[in-house]
Amino acid sequence: MHLFPKESRLEFSGSYILKNKTENSIDTIHSNFNARFPYEQYSWSADNKLVKRDSIYGWDTYVFDPPILPGDEITLNFSGNRGRRGFTNSGVDMTVLDNGTMIFSSQLFPTFGYSSDRELSQKRTRKKYGLKEDKDPMRPYNDSEGLQYGILGDDADWVDYEMIVSTDVDQIAITPGYLIKEYEENNRKFFHYKMDKPIHNLFAFVSGRYQVMQEIWNGIKLEIFYHPKHSYNLATMMDGMKKSIEYYSELYGPYPYKQCRIIEFPRYSSFAVSFPNTIPFSESIGFVMDVDPNDPEDLDMPFWVTAHEMGHQWWPHQTAGGNVQGSAFLSEGLSEYSAVSLLAKEKGEKQLRKFLKYELDKYLMGRAMESRHEPSIMKTEGQQYIHYNKAGLMMYTLSDFIGKDKFNKALKAFMDMYRYQSSPYADIGTFVNMIKEETPEDLQYLVDDTFSKITLYENKAKSATAKQNDDGTYEVTFTVEAKKVFSDSLGNQTNAKLNDWLEVGILSESDLNGEKIEIPILIEKVLITDSLTTFTYNIDQKPTKAGIDPMNKFVDRIVDDNLIKVEF
């Protein structure tokens, strides 16, 4: 890979070794490419004929004679270039930037087979071409054929990766792997990287004029590559890497690499993405975000994003789901759970309560904007509001009610069962069954409500009073209302019988860094069977509010009425 940032262009070349791992002969290969930038070289080591080319959408069909037999290997050599040419009718080609280039391998390198991602998805467009209103759904989570292929791409599984990247002499180029060699040639910088173990067939290239924050911690080389003027949150991101490696290694097994690095890229895009030991990270959600570490109301997003992306070093870079429904949860949902758990451990209940509310709001916003139908977590097909936000919220809730040790024991067993496995890949059905094995009988419903149903609560605090006792303690009495409903995929609701474990709590005012904040002083899990229930507690501190689900652990469309002011 040769990057020319000052010229906004690149050149690339490579080779694939492809093996027929099926039990059948293969006589046809469908190859996808970027129609705007066709390959200059595309040569197979086996006899073939190009029988069809769609130059508009970038789709070639090759027929091989003789066919590729089971177990046979062939080689594909390819090369091409890409650069800005004039201007486009819409948007700007941001592939190669003067500073802070970040390119996915899928933008340049060949992929094979049928891709449902390229299907028409808009209802109006599908109708125009005589197609049925909705695309075909993904295969069910237990589909044996779908489990032969990974969610990150069904044309490859675990691949050996080695890459040489060159760039302008004043820049650093990075891709997953260990730096084998760095050298200058013809006034250009060259970086030779190689992974020491197989990775998914998805990677990226980053290049920029970086300063580097570096530390050797517990034998692991930790690095942050950043714009010299964007040093605001480096300490919390470095801390996030350390705390994540320490905590997740304890939960799921050892961190498998000798290095980890975060690389900044410009805010033309606002996301972070995790490759093995390499995490490109947008400046907008970390490096230039204004976070006040002394403000308990200010979410430490750089720490959380780091924790989430570090979770991917286990999910899916060690255990990955198949190309079936629910697999996005196994990657994103379990990384999100990992991050929420670490946030709770390191930042305390105030940040946890606020973050669970953030997850809840994002989920509710997503389901309100849903234009088709809302699936359960078991059937999610890439709806981010489900496999990120709902999953992050409800996995933490499940772990809290089942017991963190039992819940994490199931996660570790699931990780061990599928670590670096392919054909079959992991599936959400097996995951749920392993969670159920660790779940007490009276909480089995909560697992079903979480994964197989769309469950909503309508909880509300009705009244709260308190009086001070002679010994200085306080007697608090409050009444809460609870209601549970199930929703179908279109939002139609039916009432559900209440026999549920929920939480009630009492808040008190506390001083933190000179500011008055409200913190929970009592949280108790209670079995609620009636719509109205009254509770009485004696506490040591003066109460300010009381109510139901004070930490926002359940899906409730209106949480502002969960707590009510305590009257004296």
Say how far apart CA 538 and CA 334 lie, in whole Å.
38
pLDDT for the residue numbered 55: 87
Amino acid at 197: K
What is the pLDDT at residue 312? 98
Closest-CA residue to 226 (of 179, 292, 168, 288): 288
Q: Give the mean model confidence (pLDDT) for residues 333-346.
A: 97
Neighbours of 185 (CB within 10 A): 9
- Domains of the chain by start residue, with CATH: 1-84+92-97+107-136 (2.60.40), 327-452 (1.10.390.10), 457-565 (2.60.40)
CB atoms within 10 A of CB 447: 19
What pLDDT sits at residue 34? 80
C-alpha 410/C-alpha 404 separation (Å) is 10
Q: How many residues does the chain have?
A: 568
Q: What is the largest CA-CA distance in the chain?
A: 94
The reported pLDDT for the residue numbered 296 is 67
Q: Is the peptide bond before 66 cis (omega within 30 degrees of 0)?
A: yes
What is the reported pTM? 0.94
pLDDT average, residue stretch 189-217: 97
Q: Which residues contact 192 (CB under 8 A, 6 or more apart)?
A: 163, 164, 179, 180, 181, 182
d(CA 471, CA 123) in angstroms, rounded, equals: 68
Question: At residue 413, does pLDDT exceed 70?
Answer: yes
Q: What are phi and psi of 148, to 5 degrees?
A: -80, -15
Residue 406 has pLDDT above 90, yes or no: yes
Residue 100 in contact with residue 227, Cβ under 8 Å? Answer: yes
Residue 348 pLDDT grade (very low, low, confident, very high; cuts 50, 70, 90): confident
In sign, the C-alpha dihedral spanning 409, 415, 418, 419 is negative
Helices 428-437 and 404-418 cross at an angle (nearest 10°) of: 140
Q: Which of 302-306, 435-439, 453-457, 512-516 has the lowest mean pLDDT?
A: 512-516
Whether the predicted pLDDT of 295 surpasses 90: no
Cα separation, 268 vs 99, whole angstroms: 12
Mean pLDDT of 4-23: 95
Taking CA atoms, 92 is separated from 86, 88, 96, 146, 510, in Å, by: 10, 7, 11, 36, 51
CB 337 within 8 A of CB 396: yes
- Mean pLDDT confidence for 147-168: 92
Output the DSSP codes for 426-488.
B-HHHHHHHHHHTS-GGGHHHHHHHHTSEEEE--EEEEEEEEE-TTS-EEEEEEEE--EEEE-
Q: pLDDT over 70 for what percent of the chain? A: 99
How far, in Å, CA of 412 to CA of 311, rounded? Answer: 13
Beta strands in 203-284 (DSSP E): 204-208, 211-217, 220-226, 259-265, 278-282
Asked whether residue 85 carries a pLDDT value surpassing 80, the answer given is no
Rounded distance between C-alpha atoms, residue 568 and residue 566, angstroms = 7
Q: What is the mean pLDDT of the chain?
A: 94
pLDDT of residue 307 exceeding 80, the answer is: yes
Helix (H, G, I), strand (E, B) or coil at 266: coil
Q: Which residues contact 463 (CB under 8 A, 6 or more apart)?
A: 478, 479, 564, 567
Cβ contacts of 369 within 8 Å, gap of 6 or more:
385
CA 546 to chain centre: 34
Specify the pLDDT at position 359. 97
In this prediction, residues 502-512 reach a mean pLDDT of 92
